[in-house]
Amino acid sequence: MKRQTKVAGMVAVLAALTLQGVSLGAEKAFPAPVPKTGANVSYMDGDDGTYQAGVAWPTPRLTVDEAAGTVMDNLTGLMWAKNAAIAGKDLPWAEALAFCKQLDLGGHKDWRLPNIKEYHSLNDWSLSGKTDTQRGLPPGGSFTGVGIYYWTSTTYAFDTNLAWFMTVWSGGYTGHEPKTRALGVWPVRGGVLAPPKAADPQTPEKK
């Protein structure tokens, strides 16, 4: 009886450890593993090119739908406008948000301005800064109208009058600018989104 109790106790401990993500001879599966940067050349032992750490890119990385005017990223599940200058001109931040929300492209109406992490996910650091035509983007996207400076939807926390922008050609260099400045607009859709907020209940009228 004591042996059965001891075995049952060990099983319970192992189950608890597994639920807590403790590795028992295998790697824990995390919800958001980091993908590879794309760098595949080593310049010194121990650098990014040595380990090429991260989740491997699928083949193909990008799938183009010419008729719809969209590009699907098969690594992240994000869909991008094929025309990176679809807005026709640079816009202030608030207008960039509004443009993306009203965009109807490829049969989809749920476009939005990408956040800073989503923009970074589209970079290929093996190409960044090498060629003006590729602009540091993964090959195969056939993107058109690619500029340099693009708004993200992410506000700069230290001063909320500013928002983060990203540069494509220089390998995802980021900075922050006043929201009144006009920068590029590159819509995206898909990904994991927060559930919509419930509407505030109406305050009952006082009698």
Q: Give the integer Cα–Cα distance in Å for 10 and 164.
A: 51
Q: Which CATH number is 116's domain given?
A: 3.10.100
Residue with tokens 């992410």: 154
Q: Phi and psi of 73, rounded to 5°?
A: -90, 110
Q: Could you give the dihedral angle defined by the CA atoms of residues 80, 84, 87 and 90, in that order, rounded to the nearest 10 degrees?
A: 130
Residue 110 counted as domain residue: yes
Q: Does residue 52 lie within any of the structural domains? A: no
Distance CA 41, CA 47 (A): 9
Per-residue pLDDT, 79:
97
Residue 45 in any domain: the answer is: no
* 23 in a structural domain: no
Q: How many domains does the structure of the chain reveal?
A: 1
pTM: 0.78
Mean pLDDT across the chain, nearest whole number?
A: 82
Asked, for residue 120, whether it belongs to a domain, the answer is yes
SS3 47: coil
Contact between 186 and 114 (Cβ < 8 Å): yes
- For 168-203, the pLDDT digits (tens) are 876 678 899 999 999 999 999 998 777 877 665 565
- Whether residue 121 is contained in a domain is answered as yes
Tell how far CA 59 is from the center of its chain.
18
Q: Report pLDDT for 137.
A: 85
Range of the structural domain that residue 137 is part of = 60-190
On the question of pLDDT at 19 being above 50, the answer is no
Instruction: Tell me, yes or no, whether 13 lies in a domain.
Output: no
28-37 per-position pLDDT tens digit? 778 878 888 8
Quote the pLDDT of residue 128: 66
Q: For residue 29, what pLDDT is reported?
A: 74
Residue 16 falls inside a structural domain: no
1 or 83, higher pLDDT: 83
